[in-house]
Amino acid sequence: MARTKQAVEYRELMVGAAIPTSLATATTETGGSPTVTKAADHVALTLDNTNEAQAAVLYMGDKLCFDIDDLQAVEFIVELDATPGTAVSVGIGVCSAQNDTLDSITEGAFFRLDAGSLAIKVETDDGTNNKDDVATGFTLTAATKTKLRLNFRDGIKANIGSNSTGGKSAIQCAIDNGQGQLRPVNLNGTQLDMSNYSAGLQVFAQIAKASGTATGTLKVYSVKVDHLKDI
């Protein structure tokens, strides 16, 4: 009898004394001290005020654990302390190889915020299709927990002259409306399409800056991935 894949859940709640062993951390600096630290109920990614390129990253050490074709949904609960400062960017989602510069990530689907704004954008890349800085219409509230969700299962892409497709060719997004409820994001007709990618992805969250003295802290409270797996 052929084996069938079953729906399973990967979940990490950032509680306890140590960062979960399934996750890795990294920092980029020259003379400063960006940090990734464990608090009681979250992991804090923090930039300091040294004028240099910096990054603080929580990811899976570039181990691409989740086949994109088995992904169902990816969900984070995060908190950003303040509006991103000069040259600061924040990325939260899934990617292939991690890169401190979000636009240099070759394959991925992630929410992002950039310097001077709390407006939440979303971006997808699959090596061919590239959707950059797509507005979601949602604005993050600083110092407030927010749930972000990427749906790889339920989208539908209508194709002229052929069967419709879905899943990774029509990724959907939902964001906490401030009352603890996830609301679908209207992307004004933009199709988030990763149909040209068929390999693995990892979860990641990062805060980085290209230069300058701006500081910032991104707190990660939980990450959850619904996916299919041979049981």
Strand runs (DSSP E) across 96-161, as ranges? 107-114, 119-126, 130-139, 146-151, 156-157
Residue 30 gets which letter from DSSP? S
Given the structure tokens 């004394």, which residue do they identify? 17
83: part of which helix (H) or strand (E)?
none
Phi-psi region of 168 (alpha: psi -120 to 50; beta: other; left: phi over 0): alpha
Q: What is the pLDDT of residues 53-69, one digit of tens each?
A: 999 999 999 999 999 99
Q: What is the pLDDT of residues 87-142, one digit of tens each?
A: 999 999 999 999 999 999 999 999 999 999 999 999 999 999 999 999 999 999 99
Position 194 in a domain: yes
CB atoms closer than 10 angstroms to residue 40: 8
Write down the pLDDT at residue 167. 84
Domain that holds residue 212: 5-16+35-230
Position 213 in a domain: yes
Position 23 in a domain: no
The most confident of 4-8, 28-32, 152-156, by mean pLDDT: 28-32
Position 133 in a domain: yes
Q: What is the pLDDT of residues 173-183, one digit of tens each?
A: 999 998 888 99
Residue 177 gets which letter from DSSP? -
Q: What is the pLDDT of residues 24-56, one digit of tens each?
A: 999 999 999 999 999 999 999 999 999 999 999
83 pLDDT above the threshold of 60: yes
Position 225 in a domain: yes
* % of the chain with per-residue pLDDT over 70: 94
Position 26 in a domain: no
219 pLDDT above the threshold of 50: yes
CATH number of the domain encompassing residue 45 = 2.60.120.200
Position 27 in a domain: no
Position 25 in a domain: no
Dihedral sign (CA 105, 106, 108, 113): positive
Number of domains in the chain: 1
User: Is residue 35 exposed (0-12), middle (13-18) or buried (19+ Cβ within 10 Å)?
Assistant: middle
